[in-house]
Amino acid sequence: MTDKEFEEKYGRPPVKPGQHAKVKVYWDRVIIALVLLALLIAVVVKIISAIVGAFSGGDKDESSSVKQAAVSGDKAESSNDDTSSDELGYELKVCIDPGHGGEDCGAENVEGTRFEKDDTLKLGLKVRDALEEKGITVVMTRDTDVLLALDEITDIANNANADLFVSLHRNSANPEYQGFEIWVSNYEPEADTLLASNILSAIDKVGITDNRNVNYGFFGEPQSNYHVNRCTHMPSCLCEMGFITNEEDNEYYDKYMDEYAQAIADAVEKTAVELEIVDENGKRLISTPYLSTKPQWDSKTQSFITKDEKVNKSVN
């Protein structure tokens, strides 16, 4: 077949050996295709990154949530957590009650210029700071000048599931009376007595005018109890930090307030270890709040449940 015949039949000249047919390249189409391919690759990469990030981020958030729950949740529930005591601090909860407040000034000095409610709040806040410095959780019945009913005070401690309770007060009498004393339930529960004894011993080492001992019941009425000792579930004590009506006691109170606060905090820590609520590193040893052996007050039934589980509405 001649070249002419080939061209007439196929509409183009024949390609002979050693020759190449010219191909027309549409560069605009090629560029568009490359751009689309690059965009597609970028989108796929972003999708894959987002999926990987979502899975890894979820694990991280879950881990953070678990750790936060261990730190800020109820200490009893987190007692088996693997987090170290150094991270958690002491797994112990203490309620500090600065006596009186608001319209109830409490006792006052001879001149009527110094009030019990102010002294107890100043000391209470310092005790709180000393305890928190140890990593101990502190519940304050009040941290400002407010008046609380006695039932409110004990409800705060009981509802918080505190392990120990310390109420701070100042005594009053004729100016010649002086000294520091602590009161405990007249059932003489061992744990409550230990708490009171440790505190009195600690502040005595700091320096007090006179050690008036750990006492049971209510001043002048041993068959009765102070409300804060009667209606708290945990070991409790009421500390009379000197006579506000005695000049020397007031001098001691002002001079050694920081030391008293630290002594009380140290005594609380010591008591918690001796009662085996926590170990010496602050790791909790029990899974429930620590309860005193004194009759347990039930605010719903307005009655006490004694150790043998008998209900008694007349416990003082």
Give the domain ranges of the chain: 24-72, 85-311
Residue 20 DSSP label: -
Query: What separation in angstroms does the CA of 312 have from each of 230, 297, 306, 309?
Result: 13, 10, 7, 9
pLDDT value of residue 306:
66
List pLDDT tens digits, range 162-215.
999 999 999 999 999 999 999 999 999 999 999 999 999 999 999 999 999 999
pLDDT value of residue 77:
38
Neighbours of 148 (CB within 10 A): 18
Partner residues linked to 304 by β-bridges: 297, 312
The model scores a pTM over 0.75: no
CATH superfamily name and code, 85-311: Zn-dependent exopeptidases (3.40.630.40)
Spatial separation of the C-alpha atoms in residues 89 and 83, rounded to whole Å: 10
Q: Show the tokens assigned to 296.
A: 């347990």
List pLDDT tens digits, range 267-281.
999 999 999 999 999
Nearest to 302 by CA among 312, 291, 289: 312
89 conformational bin, left if phi > 0, alpha if psi -120 to 50, beta if neither:
left
Interhelix angle 247-255/257-274, nearest 10 degrees: 70
Percent of the chain with pLDDT over 90: 64
11 has a pLDDT exceeding 70 = no
Q: How confident is the model at residue 13 (pLDDT cuts 50, 70, 90)?
A: low
Neighbours of 248 (CB within 10 A): 14
